[in-house]
């Protein structure tokens, strides 16, 4: 049994990967997120924006199904 643990395991709350499995984990006050999920979120935000703009202009936007994991 370990005498002491410096800090609890840091894990992405979105994909559950640990610090060792990803490049960067950004710590939030309520949740942590890894660089891979940040990239995915950025792509998702861009996709949603594009879709909304397309809808606002009365044309169908790109159909994308987003699921996590
Ligand atoms: Zn992640």
> What pLDDT, on a 0 to 100 scale, did the predictor assign at position 8?
73
pLDDT one-digit tens code per residue, 8-42: 789 999 999 999 999 999 999 999 999 999 999 99
> What pLDDT, on a 0 to 100 scale, did the predictor assign at position 22?
98
Residue 28 CA to ligand 1 center (angstroms) comes to 13
Contact 11, 17 (CB under 8 A): yes
Residue 48 CA to ligand 1 center (angstroms) comes to 20
Residue 58 CA to ligand 1 center (angstroms) comes to 35
As a whole number of Å, the end-to-end CA separation of the chain is: 33
Give the separation between CA 66 and CA 64, rounded to whole angstroms: 6
What token pair was written down for 68?
A: 């996590």
Average per-residue pLDDT for the chain: 87
Residue 6 CA to ligand 1 center (angstroms) comes to 22
Residue 10 CA to ligand 1 center (angstroms) comes to 11
């Amino acid at each position: 049994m370990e005498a002491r643990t410096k800090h609890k395991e840091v894990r992405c709350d979105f994909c559950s990967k640990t610090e060792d499995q990803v490049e960067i984990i950004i710590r939030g006050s309520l949740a942590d997120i890894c660089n891979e999920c940040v990239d995915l979120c950025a792509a998702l935000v861009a996709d949603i924006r594009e879709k909304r703009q397309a809808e606002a202009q009365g044309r169908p936007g790109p159909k994308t199904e987003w699921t996590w994991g």
